[in-house]
């Protein structure tokens, strides 16, 4: 089923390079599903805070987890406005002129308000989804949280309703007057590289390294074409 595009709001309408913007939920979801770290922005007593955090998505809800005593949780559960961003860096763009250098990226910005997940069943289900977001297949093998551990973890959910994506792809865009400048121009692709798994020094399990660790990779989704 094709999802309808997100409605543009004053907060999600791109002002600079609007041709790079997208309100396609499938693109937004794909970027969120590939990423691992978000930045959560909010204001406390007039002071801005931006906190890096792990996150995951279930349907049209973005989830965050935190210790119950954390500043972020204490503020967000009060219903304050929050801005969550995720950025995937795909490459460096080297132009002929200094000011036309850029980066290729895929990013998402979400605005909304967070709700604390109170249901124990939803909390445990969300934590399983978190493990499988980071390492698909891991949740089925590990010991689940006990009641004390579950009580010591707070889960926040943000509806993905006011959101936009922004994407840059492709080579540099130089001015015509710079095309003969004698310097190399082009793209330097970047990607996350997985190394060989390292067993814990106190590991007592003698089985093989699981495939999800041995062959771990963050799936690189299909890129949307974007103007430079």
**pLDDT for the residue numbered 223:** 39
Give the angle subtended at the CA of 25 by the CAs of 21 and 48, to the nearest 5°.
Answer: 65
Task: Flag whether 67 is in a domain.
Answer: yes
Number of domains in the chain: 1
**pLDDT for the residue numbered 205:** 87
Q: Phi then psi for 98, rounded to 5 degrees?
A: -60, -40
Tell me, what DSSP letter sits at residue 221?
P
Task: Flag whether 59 is in a domain.
Answer: yes
**pLDDT for the residue numbered 226:** 40
Give the count of beta carbons closer than 10 Å to the beta carbon of residue 215.
10
Q: Which residues of the chain have a pLDDT value below 50?
A: 221-228
**pLDDT for the residue numbered 227:** 40
Residue 151 Cα to chain centre, angstroms? 26
Task: Flag whether 86 is in a domain.
Answer: yes
Task: Flag whether 22 is in a domain.
Answer: yes
Q: Please report which helix (H) or strand (E) contains residue 122, including its range.
A: helix 120-134
**pLDDT for the residue numbered 215:** 92
**pLDDT for the residue numbered 220:** 54
Task: Flag whether 158 is in a domain.
Answer: yes
Task: Flag whether 84 is in a domain.
Answer: yes
Q: CATH number, domain at 200?
A: 2.30.110.10
Provide the residue range defining the domain that includes 197: 18-214
Task: Flag whether 182 is in a domain.
Answer: yes
Rounded CA gap, 5 and 20, in Å? 15
pTM of the model: 0.91
**pLDDT for the residue numbered 219:** 65
Task: Flag whether 220 is in a domain.
Answer: no
Taking only the tens place, the pLDDT of each residue in 51-76 is 999 999 999 999 999 888 888 888 88
Tell me the H-state helices in the chain: 25-34, 71-76, 120-134, 147-151, 211-214
């Amino acid at each position: 089923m094709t999802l309808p595009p997100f409605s543009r709001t004053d907060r999600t309408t791109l002002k600079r390079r609007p041709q790079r913007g997208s309100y396609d939920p499938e693109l937004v979801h794909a970027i969120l599903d590939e990423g691992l770290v978000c930045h959560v922005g909010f204001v406390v007593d007039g002071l801005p805070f931006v906190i890096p955090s792990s996150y995951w998505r279930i349907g049209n809800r973005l989830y965050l987890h935190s210790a119950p005593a954390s500043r972020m949780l204490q503020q967000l559960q009060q219903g304050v406005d929050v801005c969550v961003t995720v950025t995937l860096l795909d490459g460096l763009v080297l132009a002929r002129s200094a000011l036309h250098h850029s980066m290729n990226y895929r990013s998402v910005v979400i605005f909304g308000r967070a709700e604390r997940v109170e249901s124990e069943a939803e909390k445990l289900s969300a934590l399983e989804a978190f493990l499988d977001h980071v390492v698909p297949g891991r949740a089925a093998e590990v010991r689940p949280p006990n009641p004390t551990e579950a009580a010591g973890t707070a889960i926040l959910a943000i509806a993905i309703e006011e959101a936009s994506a922004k994407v840059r792809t492709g080579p540099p865009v130089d001015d015509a007057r710079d095309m003969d400048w004698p310097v190399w121009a082009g793209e330097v692709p970047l990607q996350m590289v997985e190394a060989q798994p390292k067993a814990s020094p106190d590991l007592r399990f003698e089985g093989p390294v699981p495939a999800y660790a041995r062959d771990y990779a963050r799936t690189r989704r299909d890129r949307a074409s974007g103007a430079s």
